[in-house]
Amino acid sequence: MLTSPAAAPAARREGAQAVAHRARRRALAVLVALAALVLVVLASLALGVRDIAPAEVWRALTAPVDGLMDHDVVLDQRLPRTVVGLVAGIALGCAGTVIQGVTRNPIADPGLLGLNSGASLAVVCAVWLFGITSPIGYVWFAFLGAAAAAAIVFSVGRGQPVRLALVGAAVTALITPLITLVLLRDQQAFNLYRFWSVGSLTGRGLDTVAWLWPFAVVGVVLAAVLAHRLTMLALGDDVATALGQRVGTTRALASVAIVLLAGTATSLAGPIALVGLVVPHAARRLVGTDYRWIMGIGALLGPVMLLTADVLGRLVLPRSELEAGVVAALLGAPVLVAVARGRTVAGA
């Protein structure tokens, strides 16, 4: 149907208004996500079994007093777990976005591709074979285990979305009984795995973050570079190829980004479930289907969700706490059910 010359200016105005509305919506989403991140970081530093006033938190960060209990709690306990939550949350948000983009699977996350199970097997083997029980020791095994699982999945899956999901499920099914076998043979491995496998921000110091953050930075940068390619890839391989994209190269680079991001997050916080699944869906609802914006919002919402889960875990039980992985799973379960029932967003 042809558009009359008189109608052309009106169509252009409507198009310009739509673009302006989308830009305002995206800018608002960024501001809201940033505000939420600031608030949840403050809550992570201030709330817990011992509540600390925000002003006292600020003094602890800027002018700490040796021996003052509130300052010791902030600096020695809450600051490290907050930094772990920030780094792991950013990595999980970006990893989930890349995984869903490259597989075009709305329920994809690091667990689906077998990365969590690969990291878990490596950790229990590190304890069983080498007696390594410190986080700074076994995080490297977790990283290598996640990388090995990803290499197997992507090499066998050959970049096909359905095949990647099937191979990931097969790898998880193969590794899970191996983990159980090791745990039955070694009590020490069982005790450590029982704590590590639920996912937690405690027990990891800033020294562990200092070793691993460069991997997260490289992964985030690579994910940001790939964001535009993922937008084209969401249209299908044929369309992406027609637009000049090398689909195989995109998937290879995406696999490297996934290994770096998911490996870092799993090494730091254990196999946190559903953060990498929920965050990309929330980002799409806020900013649409452009992966450049999804990636940016996902990098903000990842730590928001993970730190929120950690704070809620401290408050739900008097003088005790639930691990962040448990609370994150409870928060993400309704989203997973909604996606499974078909209420997915466009562009997934």
Sequence letter at residue 9: P
CATH number at residue 271: 1.10.3470.10
Determine contact, residues 171/263, Cβ cutoff 8 Å: no
What whole-number distance in Å separates Cα of residue 32 and Cα of residue 16? Answer: 24
- pLDDT reading at 89 higher than 70: yes
Question: Which of 101, 88, 39, 22 is closest to 294 using CA atoms?
Answer: 101
- Distance between the two ends of the chain, CA-based, in angstroms? 31
Could you tell me if residue 52 is inside a domain? no
What whole-number distance in Å separates Cα of residue 201 and Cα of residue 196? Answer: 10
Could you tell me if residue 30 is inside a domain? no
Question: Which of 192, 170, 172, 190 is closest to 180 using CA atoms?
Answer: 190
Determine contact, residues 31/300, Cβ cutoff 8 Å: no
What whole-number distance in Å separates Cα of residue 266 and Cα of residue 272? Answer: 7
Maximum CA extent, the chain: 80
- What 8-state DSSP symbol labels residue 317? S
Question: Could you tell me the CA-to-CA distances from 242 to 228, 253, 275 in Å, in that order?
Answer: 15, 19, 33
Predicted confidence band at 107 (pLDDT cuts at 50, 70, 90)? confident
pTM for the model stands at: 0.87
Place of tokens 């090398």: 246
Could you tell me if residue 128 is inside a domain? yes
Could you tell me if residue 4 is inside a domain? no
Sequence letter at residue 181: L
Could you tell me if residue 149 is inside a domain? yes
Predicted confidence band at 22 (pLDDT cuts at 50, 70, 90)? confident
pLDDT of residue 347: 41
Report the Cα 336 to chain-centroid distance in Å.
Answer: 15
Across 86-108, average pLDDT: 89
What whole-number distance in Å separates Cα of residue 273 and Cα of residue 263? Answer: 14
Least confident of 217-231, 259-273, 291-305: 259-273
Could you tell me if residue 145 is inside a domain? yes
- pLDDT reading at 344 higher than 60: no
- pLDDT reading at 238 higher than 80: no
What whole-number distance in Å separates Cα of residue 266 and Cα of residue 196? Answer: 10
Count the neighbouring beta carbons within 10 Å of the beta carbon of residue 183. Answer: 20
- What 8-state DSSP symbol labels residue 93? H
Determine contact, residues 286/106, Cβ cutoff 8 Å: no
Mean pLDDT for the chain? Answer: 85
Residue 47 φ/ψ region, left for φ over 0, alpha for ψ in the -120 to 50 degree band, beta for the rest = beta
Query: What's the token pair of residue 73?
Result: 């709690």
pLDDT of residue 218: 94
pLDDT of residue 306: 95
Number of H helices, E strands in the chain: 14, 0
Task: Count CA atoms closer than 13 A to 211's CA, side-chain side.
Answer: 15
Question: Which of 212, 114, 103 is closest to 159 using CA atoms?
Answer: 103
Could you tell me if residue 9 is inside a domain? no
What whole-number distance in Å separates Cα of residue 298 and Cα of residue 288? Answer: 12
What whole-number distance in Å separates Cα of residue 90 and Cα of residue 77? Answer: 21
- pLDDT reading at 137 higher than 70: yes
Structural domain that includes position 104: 90-340
Determine contact, residues 291/228, Cβ cutoff 8 Å: yes
Could you tell me if residue 17 is inside a domain? no
- Number of structural domains the chain divides into: 1
